[in-house]
Amino acid sequence: MAGILEKRRTLHKQLAEQQYTNDQLQSQIEQLQTLANLGMVSAMIAHEINNILTPLENYAHLAIQNPDDEALIFKALRKTAANSQRASKILEAILSMTNDQDQVKTDCRINALVDDVFLCLARDFARDNINVSIQIPEDLTVRAQPVCLQQVLMNLILNAREAMLPKGGKLTIRAGQSHDSVMIEVADTGCGIEPDNLAKIFQPFFTTKDNKSKSERPGAGLGLAFCKKVVDGHNGIISVESEPGRGTTFKIILPKDS
Ligand SMILES: Nc1ncnc2c1ncn2[C@@H]1O[C@H](COP(=O)(O)OP(=O)(O)OP(=O)(O)O)[C@@H](O)[C@H]1O
Ligand SMILES: [Mg+2]
pLDDT tens digit sequence for 93-138: 887 776 666 668 899 999 999 998 988 887 789 999 999 999 999 9
Cα 81 to ligand 2 centroid, rounded to whole Å: 25
Q: What's phi and psi for 222, nearest 5 deg?
A: -115, -15
Is 32 or 212 the better-scoring residue by pLDDT? 32
Pocket of ligand 1 (CB under 6 A): 47, 155, 159-160, 163, 188, 190-193, 197, 201, 206-209, 219-225, 248
Q: What is the pLDDT of residues 161-194, one digit of tens each?
A: 999 999 999 999 999 999 999 999 999 999 999 9
Quote the mean pLDDT of the chain: 90
Cα 203 to ligand 1 centroid, rounded to whole Å: 10
pLDDT at 252: 98
Does a structural domain hold residue 236?
Answer: yes
Q: What's phi and psi for 50, nearest 5 deg?
A: -65, -35
Q: Is the pLDDT of residue 54 over 90?
A: no
pLDDT at 164: 97
Nearest-5° Cα angle at 93, 91 to 98: 95
Does a structural domain hold residue 166?
Answer: yes
Does a structural domain hold residue 89?
Answer: yes
Cα 41 to ligand 1 centroid, rounded to whole Å: 19
Please name which ligand lies nearest the alpha carbon of 226.
1
Q: Look at residues 235, 229, 185, 252 and name the one whose alpha carbon lies nearest to residue 44.
A: 229
- Residue 110's CB is within 10 A of a number of other CB atoms, namely 26
pLDDT at 211: 72
By DSSP bridging, strand 130-135 and strand 169-177 are parallel
Residue ranges making up the domain that contains 48: 37-255
CB 252, CB 237: distance < 8 Å? yes
pLDDT at 213: 59
Q: Is the pLDDT of residue 214 over 70?
A: no
By DSSP bridging, strand 247-255 and strand 130-135 are unpaired
pLDDT at 99: 67
**Overall number of domains in the chain:** 1
Cα 225 to ligand 1 centroid, rounded to whole Å: 10
pLDDT above 70 as % of the chain = 95
Residue nearest to atom 27 of ligand 1 (CA): 223
Q: Is the pLDDT of residue 7 over 60?
A: yes
Residue nearest to atom 8 of ligand 1 (CA): 159
Q: Report the CATH number that the domain containing residue 191 is assigned in CATH.
A: 3.30.565.10
Confidence of residue 52 (pLDDT cuts 50, 70, 90): confident
Q: Is the pLDDT of residue 258 over 70?
A: no
Q: What is the pLDDT of residues 130-152, one digit of tens each?
A: 999 999 999 999 999 999 999 99
Does a structural domain hold residue 158?
Answer: yes
Does a structural domain hold residue 28?
Answer: no
pTM for this prediction:
0.86
Does a structural domain hold residue 26?
Answer: no
CB 167, CB 220: distance < 8 Å? no
| Residue of 159, 194, 249 to mutate, ligand 1, most atoms within 8 A of C-beta | 159
Buried b (16+ CB within 10 A) or exposed e, 168-181: bbbbbbbbebeeeb
Nearest atom in ligand 1 to the alpha carbon of residue 247 is: 3
Does a structural domain hold residue 71?
Answer: yes
